[in-house]
Structure 1
Amino acid sequence: MSAIFTPSADKEFFTPFGPMLGYVRMPPNLVEYLNASMSEQLEDHSASLVGKVRQELLFPKPLVDAAAGALGNALIEYHIRASHRGTFGDYDHTAKRYELNIMAGWFVRQFENEYNPLHIHTGCALSCVGYLRLPEGIDDEWAEDDKDHHPTHGHLQFAHGTDSHYSVSNFMIRPRVGDFYIFPSYMFHSVYPFKTPGERRSFSMNLSVVESEA
């Protein structure tokens, strides 16, 4: 059933269409822990993923638990806010209990000239990306790239829908260590290559938020 909108003020601006993104700064100790736990001995999941990158290494359970413990509240808050937004507020989160169901987590190790083509994630409701390391000197590459009319080097780009008046179809992110983004799993996204020697390290997780009566 479609949500029925009833104005609650004499003037308001609202966004009834399109997906929502979430952002949060990760705790420094989580970034440190994940970086210290990255090992080439972890199971390489690259053959099952679309990335044209060096390695995509699966999280063992302790890393999934650590990420869920530090970021779980933000992931659940995204779910609640998006549910409120999609029903114009007709959603009582106080009457519900929430649990994360994380299907998979993995490190993404991208080096110079590598990239991640346009893709979506399947078998889940939400996806996310957190940034753990950037190549030393990439700020110089970005400063040079910024001179171009459309800088992209090493950036994450989301795409949804078609450009129109008062609406855009893509959104670009320049990664910073400690940044964490949440997005619907169906949202198309890609990562552009860069030239600076070194590793652009991030991690992703696929998950759903399970609701039950409180």
Structure 2
Amino acid sequence: MSFAQPAVKDMSIVPIFPTPFVVAEIDDAETLNRALEAAIRSRAATQPSVAKSNMGGWQSTDDFETWAGPAGAALTAAIAKVASELTFVMAAGSFERAEIPWRVSAWANVNRRGDRNEVHTHAGAYWSACYYVAVPEQDEDRTPHAGELELVDPRGVLPIMYAPSLRMGIKNCITAGASEYYEPQPGQFVVFPSWIPHAVKPFEGEGERISIAMNLAV
């Protein structure tokens, strides 16, 4: 007995382990950015850089709110509010949204030509965020993804190692085992789970790429 190839019907694709990467924009960011840039440049002129994942450039200590003035406080409050909107809290046996008293640690980064951040995670936090104060134009002949935020698949490289010529032909799955990239824009910020490995590719342009990174913990 032989059978014709049966038709397949009612196929559904369920994203069982989705990972959020949030991009948002501060309204009327120009005034805020001027104040933030002034505070960061003043700090960088008098304080040495710390050395963590940064390869070159200047990175402040993680006490940004103590020296960034009202502009810094306004920014961290806005991002903390977004983090609360992204988070459920267990209450009386169910999950509810609530204003969470986040413990925020934040620091400023100034990257110049060739500066980068190696792949790392932010242990001890729930959400991580990065706000972009200044992003100068880069060279027209720059290498792909120069100056961009790289997010590495936390599940590892197994899909790529097993069959390098294959990709999952499903929406949002084509980079499984590889990396996603975000091109920063002034006035935008990103929020993502702190356990996602991430890096900053070398900046290739004139001027200074200024950002503020932060961790939100409970």
Residue 144 of structure 1 is matched in structure 2 by 141
Pair 1:207 & 2:216 matched: yes
Question: 1:130–1:181: 8 Å Cα contact kept in structure 2?
Answer: yes
Secondary structure at 1:16's aligned position in 2? coil
Q: Which amino acid aligns with 1:110?
A: N
Structure with greater Cα Rg: 2
Residue 11 of structure 1, CA deviation: 9.8
Q: Percent identity?
A: 22
Equivalent in 51, 54, 57 of residue 54 of structure 2: 51
Residue 43 of structure 1, CA deviation: 4.8
Residue 204 of structure 1, CA deviation: 0.2
Question: 1:46–1:55: 8 Å Cα contact kept in structure 2?
Answer: yes
Pair 1:128 & 2:133 matched: no
CA distance in 2, matches of 1:92, 1:42: 46
Equivalent in 137, 150, 156 of residue 157 of structure 1: 150
- The aligned length equals 182
Please list the CA deviations of residues 86-106 of structure 1 after superposition, one character each: whole Å capped at 9, or x if unmatched: xxxx95315x4522211x211
Question: 1:22–1:78: 8 Å Cα contact kept in structure 2?
Answer: no
* Unaligned residue ranges in structure 1 (runs of 5+): 1-9, 85-89
Residue 87 of structure 1 is matched in structure 2 by none
Residue 183 of structure 2 is matched in structure 1 by 174
Q: 1:195 to 1:77 in 2, by over 3 A?
A: same
Q: TM-score, normalised by structure 1?
A: 0.73
Pair 1:65 & 2:58 matched: no
Residue 4 of structure 1 is matched in structure 2 by none
Question: 2:80–2:216: 8 Å Cα contact kept in structure 1?
Answer: no
CA distance in 1, matches of 2:110, 2:188: 16
Residue 182 of structure 1, CA deviation: 0.4
Secondary structure at 1:154's aligned position in 2? coil
Residue 57 of structure 1, CA deviation: 1.2
- RMSD between aligned alpha carbons? 2.8
Q: TM-score, normalised by structure 2?
A: 0.72
Q: 1:11 to 1:152 in 2, by over 3 A?
A: same
Secondary structure at 2:100's aligned position in 1? strand
Residue 112 of structure 1 is matched in structure 2 by 113
Q: 1:172 to 1:101 in 2, by over 3 A?
A: same
